[in-house]
Amino acid sequence: MAQKQTILAQEEAERAIVVTLILPGSAASEAEDPLEEIRGLAEAAGANVVDGLYQKVQKVNPRAAFGKGKIEEIAQLAKAQDAVLIVVDYDLSPSQGRNLEKDLGLRVVDRTELILDIFSTRAQTKQAKLQVELAQSEYMKTRLMRMWTHLERTEGAIGSRGPGETQLETDRRLVNKRISDLRKKLKQIEGRRHREAISREYPYTVSLVGYTNAGKSSLLRRLTGADVFVADQLFATLDTRIRNWRLKDTRELILADTVGFVRDLPHGLVASFHATLEETLNADLLLHVCDASAADLDIHIRAVESVLKEVEADGISLLLLLNKWDRVSQDDRMILMNRFPDAIPVSAHSGDGLDRLEEVIGQYLDDWSLHLKVSVPASDGRLLADFRRISRVLHEDYEEGNWVAEVTLSPRHWSALRHELLAQGGDFKVVEAVESH
């Protein structure tokens, strides 16, 4: 299935009105500017946002999401601003979207459709493109009926129902088959990534996670010297970037940067991007990068925690980084440190706080790693190479034809190596094993 043509990719940016519903207890109800995120998303997709409005409601109108009076207000605003597109910060049902377009006489794009559009234009690797297509197919599957609204004109007349229903079922079968094929391909990529994670040269993996545009890519560049794309926009990059990071104590580890999150990230996207988020699941430590200067910091933190829980990564140890510290006033710094006493303030822009970050990570790895004393036949070159590859050798000696060494390594790598050795019947033994946290 060809990727859906980009909604907003036109020579001249479409003039758009952004609108949102504010429900009791929602993230938008707590936001300083309820329209800030949807405005940023629309602009990231290439729209020219000319105005916006929101409506506080107790419950969503089942017919068209918004009430009749608010729809008229949106129509008047769009006419006054010469807008041709309405971007709704809400996941509309197929019927709600159809009715809203009919009432307004304008094209309507909901939140999920907008994010899918951004992802389709930003995907670069084969994996990212497959993931976007899977999410688009899942989204399309529930909206096929909306594509066949011309059949309503027949009103179920005899002789006209069969072909339409047959075509709809045919489309569903085609979409379901494509979804199945995409899932198989992504499963293969996921398995390959898992094997690559186990066989990496360096024993530790640290993954950057955070709200989109929190500065993760800038931090990756500052820490590793990597030449990665950095832009002040939502979802600037989608693909996982993996770089080697050498700490000042000479230890080397893998630093991975994954796709940024937003509040209410569509479930279908989270599921589709599971292979990309696999890098997070394979991490020994997560660095949660926050924009400390953001007005809606609490909302951003909760959004990231929600996605981590959804991908079952909430059990991995996590350090909170208050990035963009150089943009925070002295008074606000005191408030933030009182609220997040264990957080590390850093600035990817100036480099402030990064030495402290390295110290904390080094100490964390020391406290958390397995400390083993192993004995391996000196003649088993492959086994020796495996230990040297994935562990930090603290002391080594040779006794009675055996290589006896004290090593530290991550529990994840020890589990994988031990499983492989047992399966192969490797001749080794653990003289002593001490795990300290």
What confidence tens digit (pLDDT) does each residue in 230-263 have? 444 455 455 567 888 888 877 778 888 877 777 7
Contacts of 92 (CB under 8 A, 6+ apart): 65, 100, 108, 110
Going 294 to 295 to 298 to 303, the CA torsion angle's sign is: negative
Q: Are 104 and 96 in contact (CB under 8 A)?
A: no
With a cut of 90, say whether residue 124 has pLDDT above it. no
pLDDT for res 151: 40
The secondary structure element, H or E, covering residue 119 is: helix 111-122
Cα–Cα distance list, 45 to 5, 113, 162, 210 (Å)? 13, 11, 39, 20
Domain coordinates in residue numbering, the chain: 15-120, 123-196, 202-365, 369-435
| Residue 218 near residue 230, CB atoms below 8 Å | yes
Token pair of 5, please? 């043509």
pLDDT of 31 above 60: yes
The amino acid at residue 169 is: E
As assigned by CATH, the class of the 369-435 domain is alpha beta
SS3 46: coil
Question: pLDDT at position 428, please?
Answer: 61
Which of 15-29, 175-189, 248-262 is most confident? Answer: 15-29
- For the stretch 339-358, pLDDT in tens is 999 999 999 999 999 999 99
Backbone angles phi, psi at 409, to 5 degrees: -160, 165
pLDDT above 90: percentage of residues in the chain: 29
Is there a shared CATH topology between the 202-365 domain and the 369-435 domain? Answer: no
* DSSP summary character for residue 324: -
User: Domain 15-120 carries which CATH code?
Assistant: 3.40.50.11060
H/E segment holding residue 31: none
Average pLDDT over residues 258-270: 72
Indicate the CATH number for domain 202-365: 3.40.50.300
Maximum pairwise Cα distance, the chain: 91
Token representation of residue 375: 């004995």
Least confident segment among 22-26, 276-280, 385-389, 396-400: 276-280
Q: Per residue in 141-176, pLDDT tens?
A: 766 644 444 444 344 433 333 344 456 666 777 778
Q: pLDDT by residue (tens digit) across 206-234?
A: 889 888 888 888 898 899 886 654 444 45
What pLDDT band is residue 84 in, cutting at 50, 70 and 90?
A: very high
Q: Which two tokens stand for residue 347?
A: 């600035």
Q: Compute the C-alpha angle 101/102/105, nearest 5°.
A: 70
DSSP state of 257: E
Question: Is 182 in contact with 128 (CB distance < 8 Å)?
Answer: no
Place of tokens 């197929």: 94
